[in-house]
């Protein structure tokens, strides 16, 4: 497998349709620009859907890739190593932020176990049946995956994207359920952006103290030494310092772009996978939205590199796709406004332009004559 092949498979959203959407926007009764970024979102959706007016986003889905990372053994996470399955269980039990929000917004959640380090019996078969391997390697001293496992994980993500597109999903909110995932993600971003470890090291979704931050920074620094020799091959990079969940998310993002299925990115993990995918296919980011600012410095580095501006900045650091899911109503609102606001008729257009009716003009002329 060569991820560079995706470059020939991915097209940008339809530029002609976007121009038609922009022209329609100019004809609406609400002045152009009055809705701010919602105008841009509506036009982007039109281009992605190849439809003017834009269709409603009524079949969204949250997709979460789950995995454990061996680097968590170093104490770089606020959670104990090998406990990502607890995050999964909380979502399944409806006791996590993303579960609460998904109920509120009536959005189904799909969880894909790409590399959890737990007995399969602890979770439903629908979750664990996709697992590539049990946990990922400690990236500071060893590869996260073998080359074969990396390809298997990427193909898993591609398969999930195809299943979602085939089922009618019209927009995906993408997130992760991982322990140690932000360390791997920060390593990928630092490697691809040519940045030092200290610049990208954050506190993670669970929060860590200063000692853990220093351990995390050292782990990323050591992992970077292993990442730099394989920067020319995205698959080798994911195998060296990624993980099964990150490789699967990368495959998912690339195949979603092939299938013209928009994706809203959540935090630093999805941003890292998006950056790897962009390296393989430069047009792919045109199919993604950045849902929120997570507070992780590596996330902002990645989003800047991809020229993606987050929709929200509410300080949500919990992960799990929660911040991106909060942005979904904004996207749906943009679609509704673009589709349902009326266009100006000839009469309303004259009034909007401030031109007086013909009768008023005649009356004014008669008064002037008298």
Residue 369 pLDDT greater than 50, yes or no: no
CA quadruple 234, 268, 84, 209: dihedral, nearest 10: 120
Q: State both tokens at 79.
A: 């959670």
pLDDT number for residue 34: 92
For residue 335, the Cα-to-chain-centroid distance in whole angstroms is 18
Residue 54 pLDDT greater than 60, yes or no: yes
pTM of the model: 0.91
pLDDT number for residue 365: 40
Mean of the pLDDT values across residues 15-19? 95
Residue 290 pLDDT greater than 50, yes or no: yes
pLDDT number for residue 346: 65
pLDDT number for residue 205: 65
Averaged pLDDT of the chain: 91
Q: Is 320 one of the annotated active-site residues of the chain?
A: yes
pLDDT number for residue 206: 67
Question: Shortest CA distance to 111 belongs to which of 95, 133, 129, 97?
Answer: 129
pLDDT number for residue 360: 41
Distance CA 9, CA 255 (A): 9
Mean of the pLDDT values across residues 225-229? 96
Residue 83 pLDDT greater than 60, yes or no: yes
Residue 354 pLDDT greater than 90, yes or no: no
pLDDT number for residue 326: 96
Residue 275 pLDDT greater than 60, yes or no: yes
Ramachandran assignment for 36, one of left (phi > 0), alpha (psi -120 to 50 degrees), beta (any other):
left
Range scoring the smallest mean pLDDT among 31-35, 75-79, 145-149, 343-347 = 343-347
Dihedral of alpha carbons 162, 167, 168, 170, sign = negative
Neighbours of 320 (CB within 10 A): 29
Residue 212 pLDDT greater than 50, yes or no: yes
pLDDT number for residue 347: 55
Please report which confidence band the pLDDT of residue 32 belongs to, taking 50, 70 and 90 as the band edges: confident
Mean of the pLDDT values across residues 104-110? 97
Mean of the pLDDT values across residues 32-45? 93
pLDDT number for residue 351: 38
Edge-to-edge strands, sheet with 109-115: 109-115, 60-68, 171-179, 263-265, 288-290
Mean of the pLDDT values across residues 248-262? 98
- The catalytic residue among 320, 343, 347, 355 is 320
pLDDT number for residue 311: 96
User: What is the per-residue pLDDT across 339-351, written as a single tens digit (0 to 9) for each?
Assistant: 999 998 765 454 3
Residue % of the chain over a pLDDT of 70: 93
Under 8 Å between Cβ of 250 and 154? yes
111's enclosing H/E stretch is: strand 109-115
């Amino acid at each position: 497998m060569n991820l560079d092949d995706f470059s020939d498979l991915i097209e940008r959203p339809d530029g002609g349709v976007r121009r038609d959407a922009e022209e329609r926007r100019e004809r609406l009764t609400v002045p152009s620009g009055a809705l701010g970024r919602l105008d841009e979102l509506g036009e982007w959706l039109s281009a992605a859907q190849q439809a003017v007016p834009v269709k409603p986003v009524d079949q969204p889905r949250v997709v979460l890739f789950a995995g454990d990372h061996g680097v968590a053994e170093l104490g770089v996470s606020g959670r104990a190593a090998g406990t990502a399955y607890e995050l999964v269980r909380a979502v399944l039990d409806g006791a996590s932020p993303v579960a609460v929000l998904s109920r509120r917004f009536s959005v189904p959640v799909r969880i894909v176990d790409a590399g959890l380090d737990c007995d399969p019996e602890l979770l439903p078969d629908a979750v664990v049946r996709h697992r590539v391997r049990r946990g990922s390697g400690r990236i500071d001293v060893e590869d996260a995956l073998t080359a074969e496992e990396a390809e298997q994980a990427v193909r898993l993500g591609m398969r999930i994207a195809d299943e979602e597109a085939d089922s009618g999903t019209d927009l995906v909110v993408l997130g992760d359920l991982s322990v140690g995932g932000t360390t791997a993600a920060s390593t990928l971003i630092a490697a691809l952006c040519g940045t030092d470890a200290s610049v990208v090291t954050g506190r993670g979704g669970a929060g860590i103290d200063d000692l853990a931050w220093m351990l995390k920074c050292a782990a990323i620094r050591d992992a970077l030494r292993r990442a730099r020799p394989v920067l020319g091959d995205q698959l080798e990079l994911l195998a060296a310092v990624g993980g099964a969940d990150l490789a699967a998310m990368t495959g998912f993002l690339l195949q979603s772009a092939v299938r013209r299925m928009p994706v809203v990115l959540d935090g630093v993990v999805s941003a890292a996978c998006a950056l790897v995918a962009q390296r393989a296919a430069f047009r792919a980011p045109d199919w993604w939205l950045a849902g929120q600012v997570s507070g992780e410095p590596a996330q902002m580095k990645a989003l800047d590199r991809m020229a993606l501006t987050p929709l929200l900045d509410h300080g949500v650091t919990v992960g799990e796709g929660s911040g991106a899911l909060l942005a979904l109503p904004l996207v749906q609102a943009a679609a509704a406004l673009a589709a349902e606001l009326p266009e100006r008729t000839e009469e309303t257009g004259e009034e909007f332009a401030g031109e007086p009716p013909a009768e008023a003009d005649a009356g004014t002329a008669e008064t002037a004559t008298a």
